[in-house]
Structure formats: structure tokens, C-alpha cells
Amino acid sequence: MTQDPDHAVELLWREREREPRQGLSLDRIVRAAVELADAEGLAGLSMRKVADRLGFTTMSLYRHVPGRDHLVDLMRDAVLAEHPEPAAGGDWRTRLEEVARQAWRLRGRHPWLAEIRGTRHVPGPNAVARYDEMLGALTGTALRPSEVIAAAGLVGRFVDAEALLLVETRREERRSGVSEEEWWGARDSLYDRLDRYPALSHLWEAGGWDHPEDSFEFGLARLLDGIEALIRRRDETRDETCRECGTRLEPADSGRPRVYCSRACRQRAYRRRQTG
Amino acid sequence: MTQDPDHAVELLWREREREPRQGLSLDRIVRAAVELADAEGLAGLSMRKVADRLGFTTMSLYRHVPGRDHLVDLMRDAVLAEHPEPAAGGDWRTRLEEVARQAWRLRGRHPWLAEIRGTRHVPGPNAVARYDEMLGALTGTALRPSEVIAAAGLVGRFVDAEALLLVETRREERRSGVSEEEWWGARDSLYDRLDRYPALSHLWEAGGWDHPEDSFEFGLARLLDGIEALIRRRDETRDETCRECGTRLEPADSGRPRVYCSRACRQRAYRRRQTG
DNA sequence: CCTTTGCTGTTTATGCCGTACACGTAGTAG
DNA sequence: CTACTACGTGTACGGCATAAACAGCAAAGG
């Protein structure tokens, strides 16, 4: 019974019901779970602890939530509702950067977001909204549709990976009372053996580890640069690809340059202009 | 007792001893654990199962290995010994790309590598060798030392993130017998609600999901492009930064252009030329 | 009115997990 | 021979998710 994605869809997209005066409810469970995960991370989130926090037995939760996995899905969509600032206008780069930074900040507040694993999480309305914002930042560009999607996924995964790194170090630091720097500084028995690695030694002597780059800032800048390079390349050949689906255009028979690859694409574009 | 990093260093960097004719040994345990993790993933790796596979009791393992975490460290360094092809010559980009692809292929053979979490894993000799290769690909460039390190980390984390994605989908597909495509294709109850997300709908109608990009290839290309852009920028200002530590140079008093920012840096460079 | 039905929370139990601890046993150095 | 060490074992504890049967209660139907 742990596997009913359609049930998950219903829970995620359900209308918010009013809370009962007493007793459990889905929203109360989700809120308690979010608090717990904020404090102890996703690994520290257990059905027992959530139930304890609410003053009920463990199994009582299962009357409202199909299981732990679904609970995490619900938690995700709950916190993804925060900060609904509408995306500002501007060129694609500033917009995409802003969306990435918002995702980053959100993971600062709820680090467990980056710890969620698995590829079959049904998105709720807020997850889709965030995704749409990211896609929206890139849709105006010369990128092909599949490239827009790939780029959004790339940036999203980057943010998660960096956030994961950060939360892991932070939690370990809090747990052990030893900072990352102190811990690695005490690994003399390791450093004694690193002489015969040339690049490592060179960088060490050059002070490469003295003032490390901010890995989120550095990575984000490289990523945006990389996407920009592709967009520039696509811009150069923009007139040779279908404006709707991005496939390469056959050379036009007549003198007039073609814009769409097929009647279907032209009509799709036209219809959208009417409705949107 | 589970926390003794120096003990981990000793185990990882120990000389390989000859195997006993019978009974357990560290290497036998590590090999069995690798086989198990290859088949069932890191989550499916348990001390019980490793012991069963070897025909011993669970607790016998603890005579040779401090605990599960250390075992994983040992497994990592064991498989990182595979493929010791020396890095080929060439420009930085082809070298870095090749290192990334080797890491990618290795994670194809041992998907659990990407599942390892935590930031305080002591590297063994092979882990350091792989890291040194990646750093080495970038040391010839105009990047500053800290940027070389950041770029290597970025590429490394990218490979891990993509590998993690892949292994998660694959495992889920095998476990459930339903392919990712089929599973998402069956989520009609979800798609019914996605009309009011403009970018998403647009891309959907434009066929963006029909022929998706290969996310590893796409991401790697963008990343390399992004790093290339930075290198080009640094190349332009190469003569204005210290050749040793990369900080900006004060304008020279005399007419002759400066090369190093300080006597210390000049001496470091000189000494390295003598020894290396 | 009483009874039936369904919702909610509880109790108990199963099968995983890592590993602490006390115990045997066999080989070896003194 | 003895004491010591290395190695393997058995038992036990506390943690986890969750299946299954059960109890109370409120609304619905007769």
C-alpha cells in the first residue's frame, strides 16, 4: 500500500480543508514533520518522533498519511509554498540566477529539501510552480525546448548538490562540535603521505586552500556562463531553426526565409498567441 | 569507537598484507561488500549480509573493520584503484573531460559510489590519485589555484549528482518492473492539473519532452564551456596577476612588468622549479 | 429509539538495521 | 605449562517502518 502514486497526487493537490478542533490532521502532521526535519534532518525524521511531538501513537499517523515517503512529498510541497514572490522581468540570465538563488535560500531554511532522494516524487502545485518559474526564465531564449528542460534540470540539481554538501558539513559540525576546518587540520597522518601527488602539492604550496572560493557562487557563475555560451551559439543559427520546436529548417524554396518547420508548428504558435 | 579517523587512515594507507589461508581478512570483507553493494546499492549493504556472504557471523566483521562507515571508505578506495590509465597529454579541456568520463564510467560499474554521503571521508591513495588527476588537468591554465580547486570540485560533484540520478532511476525500475517513462506516462491525474503553468505547457506542446537531452552529456558540455569562459577571461588578464598565487598585481614602479606579487611567491616558484 | 457503519486512534507484532558486551577457543610467546 | 592475544560467536539493546487486529465513538439509517 506504500505505492499508490495517484493517492499521492490527490493528497498533494487536494483543497485545503479546515482543521479539526482536536485530534490529528494531515496539515498538523506535515507541520510537525517539517519542524522535526528542520531540526534533525531527513535522516532524523521518523514516524515515531513525529507522533511523539504531536502526542499520539506512531500508528495513528497512518490514518492520515500513507507512509513516510508520501509524508516527505507533502512536506516538500508545503515548504515550496513559501516566498511566492513573482519572478521579476529582465533578461534570462538575471531571472534564472534569481530563481536559483531563491531555491538556494529555501534550502538554507529547510536543508532536508536537498536530502530527498528518488526520482518518482509526484510534484504538488508549489513544486510545479517553482519548476515553471525556472523553465520560464529560459523559454524566451534561442535554446531548443529540450535544451531549456535540460538546463533547468542542471541548475536545479546543482543547487541541490551544493545544498547537500553544505548541510552535511553543518550537521556534522554541530553533532561533533568540531568544525570542518579543525577536523581536516588534524589529519596530519594523512598529509604526511601526500607528497608524491604533483598537482595537489603544487596547489597546496601555492596556497590554493588558504582562501577557497565559495563553491555555490563559483559553480553558479560557471553554469550560467556555460548556458550563455550555448545560447549565443544558438542565436547565431536562430534563423535556421524552427521557432516553435527548434529542429533544423530545410532551406526555403522561395526567397522568403522560413520560420516554422511545419504547418503544425506554425499553428501551435498561432494558437498560443491567441490564448496566452 | 566508531569515530577514529586516524585509524581509518591507517587502514586505507596500509601495505597490502598477504591473505591468510582461511578465515576472514580485511580484503575479503571489502571484496564481498563491494559485490553486495554493486548488486543492491549502498542502502542494501548491511553488515549481516556481508557476513552471510562470507559464511561468518555478523560480529566477526568487527574484528577487522571498525564499523560500517569505515568499510564504505575502504570499498571506495578499493574500486578507485581500477583503470589506472595515466592521463593523456593534450589541452586542459580534453584532459578534464576524459577524467570526468572515467569517473562517470566507474560510477556505471559501481553506482553506490555516488550514494556515499558525508564530508569527512578520509581519502585513500587511490582517491587522492584520482583527485590529483583532475586537479592536474587544470593546473596548466590561467586559473588561480583556488579556482582550480573549485572547478575540480564542481565537476566532481556534477558527475556524482548525475550518477546518483541514474542509479536511482535504474534501481527503481528494476525493483518495480516499471520503466521511468511508463511510470510518468501513467500519471494522468497529475497532468490534468498542469494547464495553468505557462512555461511548462508551452514546452510540452513544443515537444520538449519527446527527445530529451542526455543530461550527463549536456551538463558536462555546459560545465566545460563555463570553465572555458573563465579561463579565457583569466588569460586576458594573465599579465596583471601573480603567476604563483593569482592575486592582482600592483602596477610596477619600473617599466618592467612584474610577474610575482611578493618575494615569497617568487621564491616558492623558484624552489618548485628546482625540486619538481 | 436502537443498530449499523465508518472514521480514528491504539496495541501488538514482524522483520530489518548497527553494534556493545561477554564469552569461548586456539595458537603462541614466555 | 601458562598467560596472553587474536579471532570468531551468541545474545541483547535500541532504533526503524509498517502490517493486522482491535476499541471507541459519532453519524446515519431503520
**Which nucleotide comes closest to B63 if you measure CA to C1'?**
D7
Q: Are residues B172 and B219 in the same domain?
A: yes
Which chain D positions have some atom within 7 A of a protein CB? 6-11, 15-21
Residues of B (27-46) placing their beta carbon closer than 7 angstroms to any atom of strand C are 45-46
Q: Are residues A152 and A229 in the same domain?
A: yes
A3 C-beta less than 7 Å away from strand D = no
Q: Are residues A93 and A159 in the same domain?
A: yes
* B92, part of any domain: yes
Residues B222-256 as b/e (b if ≥16 CB within 10 A, e otherwise) read bbbbbbbbbbeebeeeeeebbbbbbeebeeeeeee
What pLDDT score does A23 carry?
Answer: 81
Task: Tell me the chain B residues in contact with residue A209 when contact means C-beta distances shorter than 8 Å.
Answer: 146, 149
Task: Tell me the chain B residues in contact with residue A125 when contact means C-beta distances shorter than 8 Å.
Answer: 193
**Which one of B2, B154, B165, B174 would you mutate to disrupt binding with A, by most A Cβ within 10 Å of its Cβ?**
B154
Round to the nearest angstrom and report the end-to-end CA distance of chain B.
41
* Cell representation of residue A5: 502514486
The per-residue DSSP string of A77-141 comes to HHHTTS--PPPP-S-HHHHHHHHHHHHHHHHHH-GGGGG---S-PPP-HHHHHHHHHHHHHHHTS
pLDDT at A141 over 70: yes
* A118, part of any domain: yes
Residues A97-107 as b/e (b if ≥16 CB within 10 A, e otherwise) read bbbbebbbebb
Strand, helix or coil for residue A199:
helix
* A150, part of any domain: yes
- Amino acid at residue number A211: H
Of the residues A44, A79, A114, which one is the last residue of a structural domain? A79
pLDDT at A43 over 80: yes
A48 C-beta less than 7 Å away from strand D = yes
* A183, part of any domain: no
A58 C-beta less than 7 Å away from strand C = yes
Q: How many other C-beta atoms are found inside a 10 Å radius of the C-beta of residue A256?
A: 7
Q: Which residue of B has its CA nearest to A154?
A: B219
Q: How many other C-beta atoms are found inside a 10 Å radius of the C-beta of residue A248?
A: 10
**How far is residue A268's CA from residue A125's CA, in Å, rounded to a whole number?**
26
What pLDDT score does A215 carry?
Answer: 97
Phi, psi of A102 (to 5 degrees): -65, -45
Distance B41 CA to C10 C1' (A): 36
Closest CA to B26 of B16, B35, B38: B16
**How far is residue B34's CA from residue A181's CA, in Å, rounded to a whole number?**
31
| Burial class of residue B177 (count of CB atoms within 10 Å of its CB; 0-12, 13-18, 19+) | exposed
pLDDT at B273 over 90: no
What pLDDT score does B210 carry?
Answer: 93
Structural domains of chain A, count = 3
A67 C-beta less than 7 Å away from strand D = yes
Question: What's chain A's length in residues?
Answer: 276
Q: Are residues B64 and B100 in the same domain?
A: no
Determine whether the interchain pair A161/B158 forms a contact, defined as Cβ–Cβ distance below 8 Å.
yes
A84 C-beta less than 7 Å away from strand C = no
**Which nucleotide comes closest to B20 if you measure CA to C1'?**
D7
- Tens digit of each residue's pLDDT (9 = 90 or more) over A238-258: 767 777 776 777 766 665 667
* A22, part of any domain: yes
Closest CA to A248 of A235, A236, A233, A238: A238
**Which one of A126, A159, A202, A214 would you mutate to disrupt binding with B, by most B Cβ within 10 Å of its Cβ?**
A202
Q: Are residues B50 and B91 in the same domain?
A: no
Of A12 and B266, more confident? A12
**Which nucleotide comes closest to A69 if you measure CA to C1'?**
D17
- Tens digit of each residue's pLDDT (9 = 90 or more) over B3-30: 688 888 988 998 777 677 778 999 999 9
A46 C-beta less than 7 Å away from strand D = yes
Long-range contacts of B36-42, Cβ-Cβ distance < 8 Å, separation of 24 or more: B37/B75, B37/B110, B37/B112, B38/B109, B38/B110, B38/B111, B38/B112, B41/B111, B41/B112, B41/B115, B41/B167, B41/B171, B42/B72, B42/B112, B42/B115, B42/B116
Q: Distance from A148 to chain B by nearest Cα, in Å? A: 8
pLDDT band at A273 (very low <50, low <70, confident <90, very high): low
Determine whether the interchain pair A172/B272 forms a contact, defined as Cβ–Cβ distance below 8 Å.
no
Q: Are residues A120 and A33 in the same domain?
A: no
Beta carbon pairs, A and B, within 8 Å? 227
Q: Are residues A29 and A91 in the same domain?
A: no
**How far is residue A72's CA from residue A121's CA, in Å, rounded to a whole number?**
9
- Tens digit of each residue's pLDDT (9 = 90 or more) over B86-111: 666 789 999 999 999 999 999 999 99
Closest CA to A13 of B196, B274, B262: B196
Contact B30, B14 (CB under 8 A): no
Q: Are residues B20 and B66 in the same domain?
A: yes
* B136, part of any domain: yes
Q: Distance from B18 to chain A by nearest Cα, in Å? A: 22
Residues B87-118 as b/e (b if ≥16 CB within 10 A, e otherwise) read eeeeebbebbbbbbebbbebbeebbbbbbbee
Closest CA to B205 of A205, A268, A219, A187: A268
What pLDDT score does B2 carry?
Answer: 47
Of A17 and A166, more confident? A166
pLDDT band at A90 (very low <50, low <70, confident <90, very high): confident
Q: Are residues A261 and A145 in the same domain?
A: no
What pLDDT score does B186 carry?
Answer: 93
Of A88 and B149, more confident? B149
- Domain of residue A246: give its range: 242-276
Stretch A228-233: mean pLDDT, rounded?
A: 97
Compute CA distances A92 → A150, A227, B208, B219, whole Å. Answer: 15, 10, 18, 18
Q: Which residue of B129, B189, B224 is in closest CB contact with A197?
A: B129
pLDDT at A126 over 70: yes
Low-confidence winner among A72-81, B139-148, B249-258 (lowest mean pLDDT):
B249-258
DSSP tally for chain B: helices H, then strands E: 12, 0
Q: Are residues B153 and B93 in the same domain?
A: yes
**Which one of A92, A131, A132 would you mutate to disrupt binding with B, by most B Cβ within 10 Å of its Cβ?**
A132
* Cell representation of residue B115: 550514494
Q: Are residues B148 and B220 in the same domain?
A: yes
Q: Which of A108-112, A206-210, B269-273 has the highest mean pLDDT?
A: A108-112
pLDDT band at A4 (very low <50, low <70, confident <90, very high): confident
Q: Are residues B123 and B161 in the same domain?
A: yes
What pLDDT score does A213 carry?
Answer: 98
What pLDDT score does B10 carry?
Answer: 87
CATH number, residue A91 = 1.10.357.10
Low-confidence winner among A49-58, A66-75, B76-85, B167-176 (lowest mean pLDDT):
B76-85
Compute CA distances A248 → A144, A241, A244, B94, B204, whole Å. Answer: 10, 4, 11, 28, 19
What pLDDT score does A255 carry?
Answer: 59
Of the residues A14, A46, A79, which one is the last residue of a structural domain? A79
Q: Distance from B205 to chain A by nearest Cα, in Å? A: 8
CATH number, residue A27 = 1.10.10.60
Stretch B237-262: mean pLDDT, rounded?
A: 70
What pLDDT score does A2 carry?
Answer: 47
Task: Tell me the chain A residues in contact with residue B153 when contact means C-beta distances shorter than 8 Å.
Answer: 215
Mean pLDDT taken over chain B: 90
**Which nucleotide comes closest to A54 if you measure CA to C1'?**
C9
Show the CA angle centred on residue A51, arms to residues A48 and A54, nearest 5°: 150
Q: How many other C-beta atoms are found inside a 10 Å radius of the C-beta of residue B55?
A: 9
Determine whether the interchain pair B205/A272 forms a contact, defined as Cβ–Cβ distance below 8 Å.
yes
Q: Which of A7-21, A212-226, B226-240 has the highest mean pLDDT?
A: A212-226
Show the CA angle centred on residue A90, arms to residues A84 and A92, nearest 5°: 90
Phi, psi of B115 (to 5 degrees): -90, -5
Which chain C positions have some atom within 7 A of a protein CB? 8-12, 16-22
* A39, part of any domain: yes
* B195, part of any domain: no
Contact A91, A54 (CB under 8 A): no
Helices (H), chain A: 5-13, 26-40, 47-54, 68-79, 92-109, 125-139, 145-176, 180-185, 188-191, 198-205, 215-236, 263-275
Longest dimension (CA), chain A: 76
Residue linked to cell 498519511: A65
- Amino acid at residue number B37: A
Of A90 and B57, more confident? B57
**Which nucleotide comes closest to A66 if you measure CA to C1'?**
D18
Q: Which residue of B131, B151, B157 is in closest CB contact with A161?
A: B157
